[in-house]
């Protein structure tokens, strides 16, 4: 059997991409906010139901730029339970991350624990909609308003997610998407900042182009974060297929849910009626009631050619550049530590056949029934 990975990018037929390439070869416009770049920003606004989109080369440069755009400094409250780029974007900006524990139901920043981590140096909250599960955006906003903090959402997992019939990306001061190959909507590499108004979008557009406003005016020490025409064109093609891809993911999600529902020691995240999910990941938590330790089940899956992943283990706060921080101590992050030791993300992607899903389920369920 060929190995099954946690995800596999969904690609359109190669021939469908040729006409886009012909246009680029004709026009010789390769980058710098060309026609495909503009069209993809426009179509993403419509598809996602957001006001402004600024495209980027990748999600990490978008995160760095979002922090620059809002002039964030000092300390920022963030989650240890995420991909490492979340906290790295703070260090690259000379900002001190302050880790706050997660909620055991959403696996996102626990609003109950944010306030006690705020100091006079705190300027913002950098939260993650982990696995596309919305943060408690209303309570986070309330805290931010009370203390005069900015809110940035790392929404790398949250493409297409809705909360109370509206895009989750409309919450906070800025939201950041990733279009990396492993994400629900991929453009090989890519990313975006979702902006609530034209003014901040303009500042971000300057920042991602070296700070240039016109030929002779540079207003900030900007970076080169622009998405190229070839990638923007590919994004337009991928967008045509995204609804179909999400439906296929949904069917796999449902199959896992119903098969693992009554398996002792295996839990998964609940589907809230308030949210529309994007089925980007299927994390399970393997607790003490299950016959195998998490890592033993993880290895068993590997031995059977199923390459599930322990997202997110280790915690960001356990990496060498973070573990010396006062907020990184184990006793400050008990829930994140526990979840990190229990989680396995099972394979889920549009082209994953049901037989493979059933095989994965069988490997997990066998331990109970045998
Ligand atoms: C993928 C990811 C990123 C980084 O995005 P890139 O496009 O790979 O730079 C940041 N944060 C989270 C939570 C991610 O999953």
Residue 131 Cβ < 6 Å to ligand 1: no
Distance 289 CA to ligand 1 centre (A): 33
Identify whether 314 is preceded by a cis peptide bond (ω within 30 of 0).
yes
Task: List own/partner pairs for 268-273 with CB under 8 A and 24 or more apart.
Answer: 269/105, 269/106, 269/107, 269/131, 269/133, 270/105, 272/134
CA distance 281 to 267: 14
Distance 192 CA to ligand 1 centre (A): 11
Answer whether 23's CB lies under 8 Å from 157's CB.
no
The pairing of strands 162-163 and 275-276 is antiparallel
Q: Using only C-alpha atoms, what is the Rg of the chain?
A: 21
CA distance 370 to 368: 6
Answer whether 309's CB lies under 8 Å from 6's CB.
yes
Residue 173 Cβ < 6 Å to ligand 1: no
3-state secondary structure at position 244: helix
Query: Per-residue pLDDT for 369 more than 80?
Result: no
Give the residue from 62, 105, 97 showing the smallest Cα distance to 207.
62
Q: H helices within 261-327, ranges in order?
A: 294-303
Residues contacting 353, CB < 8 A, separation 6+: none
Domains of the chain: 14-239 (3.40.640.10), 243-369 (3.90.1150.10)
Token representation of residue 52: 């402004």
Q: How many CB atoms lie within 10 A of CB 230?
A: 17
Mean pLDDT value across the chain: 97
Nearest CA to ligand 1 atom 6: 59
CA distance 154 to 86: 7
Q: In a mutational test of the pocket of ligand 1, which residue from 85, 155, 182, 283 has the highest number of ligand atoms less than 8 Å from its CB?
A: 85
Q: Which atom of ligand 1 is nearest to the CA of 58?
A: 7
Tell me the pLDDT tens digit for each residue of 2-48.
Answer: 899 999 999 999 999 999 999 999 999 999 999 999 999 999 999 99
Q: Which atom of ligand 1 is nearest to the CA of 82?
A: 13
Tell me the pLDDT tens digit for each residue of 98-137.
Answer: 999 999 999 999 999 999 999 999 999 999 999 999 999 9
Tell me the pLDDT tens digit for each residue of 278-322.
Answer: 999 999 999 999 999 999 999 999 999 999 999 999 999 999 999
Residues contacting 214, CB < 8 A, separation 6+: none
Give the residue from 93, 72, 88 showing the smallest Cα distance to 172.
72
Q: How many CB atoms lie within 10 A of CB 314?
A: 14
Active site residue 264: no
pLDDT at 48: 98
Write phi, then psi, for 26 (nearest 5 degrees).
-65, -50
pLDDT at 370: 62
pLDDT at 274: 83
Residue 85 Cβ < 6 Å to ligand 1: yes
Residue 88 Cβ < 6 Å to ligand 1: no
3-state secondary structure at position 198: helix
CA distance 230 to 94: 33
pLDDT at 52: 98
Distance 85 CA to ligand 1 centre (A): 6
Tell me the pLDDT tens digit for each residue of 236-286.
Answer: 999 999 999 999 999 999 999 999 999 999 999 998 878 899 999 999 999
pLDDT at 271: 84
Distance 250 CA to ligand 1 centre (A): 22
- Mean pLDDT of all residues in 221-249: 97
Tell me the pLDDT tens digit for each residue of 171-219.
Answer: 999 999 999 999 999 999 999 999 999 999 999 999 999 999 999 999 9
Per the DSSP assignment, residues forming a β-bridge with 53 are: 194
**What stretch of H or E contains 141?**
helix 137-147
pLDDT at 275: 86
First vs last Cα of the chain: how many Å apart? 23
Tell me the CA distances in angstroms from 20 to 13, 15, 44, 235, one per residue in order.
Answer: 13, 10, 18, 11
Answer whether 108's CB lies under 8 Å from 100's CB.
no
CA distance 130 to 224: 28
Q: Of the ranges 57-71, 147-161, 269-283, 300-314, which one carries the lowest mean pLDDT score? A: 269-283
């Amino acid at each position: 059997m060929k190995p099954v990975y946690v995800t596999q990018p969904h690609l359109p037929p190669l021939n469908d991409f040729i006409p886009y390439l012909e246009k680029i070869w004709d026009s010789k416009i390769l980058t710098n906010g060309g026609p495909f770049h503009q069209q993809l920003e426009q179509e993403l606004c419509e598809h996602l139901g957001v006001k402004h989109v600024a495209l980027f080369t990748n999600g990490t440069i978008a995160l760095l730029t979002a922090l620059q755009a809002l002039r964030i400094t000092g300390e920022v409250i963030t989650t240890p339970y995420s991909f490492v780029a979340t906290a790295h974007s703070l260090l690259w900006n000379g900002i001190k991350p302050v880790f706050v524990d997660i909620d055991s139901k959403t696996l996102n920043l626990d609003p109950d624990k944010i306030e006690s981590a705020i100091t006079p140096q705190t300027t913002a909250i950098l939260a993650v909609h982990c696995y596309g599960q919305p943060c408690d955006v209303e309570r986070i906003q309330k805290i931010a308003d009370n203390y005069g903090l900015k809110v940035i959402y790392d929404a790398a997992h949250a493409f297409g997610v809705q909360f109370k019939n509206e895009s989750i990306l409309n919450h906070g001061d800025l939201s950041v998407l990733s279009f990396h190959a492993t994400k629900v909507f991929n453009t090989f590499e890519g990313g975006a900042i979702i902006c609530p108004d034209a003014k901040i979008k303009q500042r971000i557009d300057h920042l991602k182009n070296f700070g240039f406003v016109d030929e002779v005016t540079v207003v900030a020490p900007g970076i080169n974060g622009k998405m190229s025409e070839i990638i923007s064109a590919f994004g337009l093609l991928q967008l045509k297929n995204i609804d179909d891809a999400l439906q296929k993911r949904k069917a796999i999600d449902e199959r896992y849910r119903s098969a693992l529902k009554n398996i002792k020691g295996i839990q998964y995240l609940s589907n809230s009626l308030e949210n529309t999910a994007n089925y980007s990941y299927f994390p399970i938590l393997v607790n003490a009631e299950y016959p195998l330790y998490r890592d033993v089940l993880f290895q068993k899956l590997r031995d059977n050619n199923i390459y599930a992943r322990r997202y997110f283990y280790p915690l960001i706060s356990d990496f060498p550049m973070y573990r010396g921080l006062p907020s990184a101590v184990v006793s400050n992050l008990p829930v994140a530590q526990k979840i990190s030791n229990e989680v396995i993300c099972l394979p889920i992607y549009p082209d994953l056949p049901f037989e493979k899903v059933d095989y994965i389920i069988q490997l997990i369920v066998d331990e109970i029934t045998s």
